[in-house]
Structure 1
């Protein structure tokens, strides 16, 4: 528990630095966004009864590409790849506005380089950075 407390104390202190805060918020949002999109695509793939290999064939990609995308590791797909996979599943990737609460927690610190409550910001970002579903099960 001591190490955990030290981590949080250090993170909260680091978030006082505007440059660190911006980088941490951006990276947290990137991780959460990619995780959400990949999870939704994988659920759609499973609902359609498609294997990763058949989905790869549908977009003329190497099967290893789909295995990496849905592996639960550290995927960093291009927007083009996500759009191709989505299209093969009858979907499209779209943007949506952040809810007001999330906007105040994320957008304002990015624009201002500071947060009124770095403890709450750290906890919020930790919550959205945690992968929710991806597994490393083979297809």
Structure 2
């Protein structure tokens, strides 16, 4: 983890997690980021590409966290809602590259769920985050 201020929770006898944490313990102010989809702050989709929408949704999360004086290193929980599990799995390496480019090496506790659809018809992914920002 880059400068992850929260404690990762991982039982010693468990197999190592890849790309996420099994749990995170934090102390400070809590920021809750509503589900962010792959459109810009102007609510415009610039692409229908799955990985492009992932990247934009992650950038939106970073923008909202910044409003709390936080960054990706403060994330403790992330939930992804995707509309196509196969596309996600087929493009996993590209998703990982986009994730690391925006979020760095910060891997909170994560859950991913395939859903039938999202409210915005063009949306292929929605990501919500909880972050714990240390009190300064």
With normalisation by structure 1, the TM-score equals: 0.25
The higher radius of gyration belongs to: 1
Higher helix share: 1
